[in-house]
Amino acid sequence: MGLLGRKKTEPCWVDVAGEHDFRHSLEVQVDGTRYALLRAGDQVVCTQASCSHEYSPLVEGVVQDGEVYCEKHGSRFSLADGAVLNPPACENIRIFKCKLEAGRVFIFVP
């Protein structure tokens, strides 16, 4: 897990990892909040760290076809907008803006 500290400020882009620091996924933390970086093809998507059902780490999920599959009970979520696609989860997950720049991964921390 990456640990980053920063002063509480306005919402801003935060450098959380090197683009090649992880193969499939990486959990990072900013200001005490955990986020999941999920590699989807040549993109990196940032989501909340835990499944909305029973809080299984989404970095342990499987990313395929623009979705993340939570292996604990089988819910899937769209990586486009966080929409829950099947039960047992009934709440969407949050997606955060994410960008790759100069070999680094930045997330937009609200």
Chain contacts with ligand FES (rule: CB under 6 A): 51, 53-54, 56, 70, 72-75, 88-89
Smaller CB separation from ligand FES, 55 or 108: 55
Q: Give how far Cα 16 sits from Cα of 8, 32, 33, 36, 46, Å.
A: 16, 13, 12, 11, 11
Could you tell me which of 103, 100, 102 has the C-alpha nearest to residue 45?
Answer: 100
Smaller CB separation from ligand FES, 46 or 58: 58
What lies within 8 Å, CB to CB, of 26 at 6+ separation is 1, 2, 17, 36, 37, 59
CB of 59 to ligand FES, least distance (A): 12
CB of 73 to ligand FES, least distance (A): 3
Smaller CB separation from ligand FES, 44 or 70: 70
